Amino acid sequence: MHIESYIEYLQYEKNYSSHTVSAYKKDLNLFLSFTQEQGVVSMVDVAYSDIREWVTDLLENGDSHRTVNRKMSAIKSYFKFLLKIGELMVDPSSLYKSLKITKKIQVPFSTNEVLKLLDSPYDEQDFEQSRDFLMIELLYATGIRRDELINLKIHDVDLIRGQIKVIGKRDKQRIIPLLRSIKNHIEKYLALRDVVAGASVNELFVTSRGFKVYPSLVYRIIKSYFSKVSLKVKISPHVLRHTFATHLLDHGANLNAVKELLGHTSLSSTQIYTHSSMVTLKGVYGNAHPRSKK
């Protein structure tokens, strides 16, 4: 069924990240298992009705519309590949229309919440405290994603130029400037880090045992610290990314500039962050315009 060829196609031709390739492979295997249980021997025999039954099964088992659409992206991609190599004449997934998704407006942290946390005292000689605060500072000051933070290498940090090189989705690189305060913090952190990990580990952020940090650890750190200054239900590294974009736009940053900093490929992805800024703008407008009193 050319699955291995498809995986190589995603890796080397489409240049998808290892995370995306792994997710696509998992979703494809789920679909294969379902169709085989329905008596479909080969993918070339799959009909649109089989796809529709799978979608119904996913929904009945509690998958959200967003999750179903994500899984279907893998299936549609695979059928397009089979068309490309001449194994199919008609794509059965072409009739599938993505399920409607209600966009959830994420509430960013307020400026006071962030500053209250970042201005709070911590032991600069304690490795974990220094690391945790630097993580928070970087996420808020650069808007990088959690995975980008985790995979940040020491050689990606240029303290002389005051910038970091970030490897984003599909291995796209972007350069983000650093605030002077963060440069100073990185220098102090590196001295502590060298004692814990040494030169054998390339990643900037490591555990107290000298290993590369992992997603759940970063999530717990953000959750733990921000729970002390915020009553928000949703607290995560992505909320900090959302906060970064919102605060920049609130203070007059150009939307295209924010797009470049976030590493978005299209402006439409960045525009979701304008909602919170529009709320602020409406407040200013309502308080300042003479006719608002009428």
Active-site residue list: 145, 169, 238, 241, 264, 273
Which amino acid makes up residue 104? Answer: K
DSSP 266-277: SHHHHGGGHHHH
Q: What stretches of the chain adopt beta strand conformation (E)?
A: 157-158, 163-167, 173-177
151: CB partners within 8 A, 6+ apart: 167, 203
3-state SS assignment for residue 222: helix
| 226 and 110 Cβ atoms separated by less than 8 Å | no
Q: How many CB atoms lie within 10 A of CB 254?
A: 10
- Alpha-carbon distance of 6 to 24, in angstroms, equals 10
Amino acid at 109: F
Cα–Cα distance, 221 to 227 (Å, whole number):
10
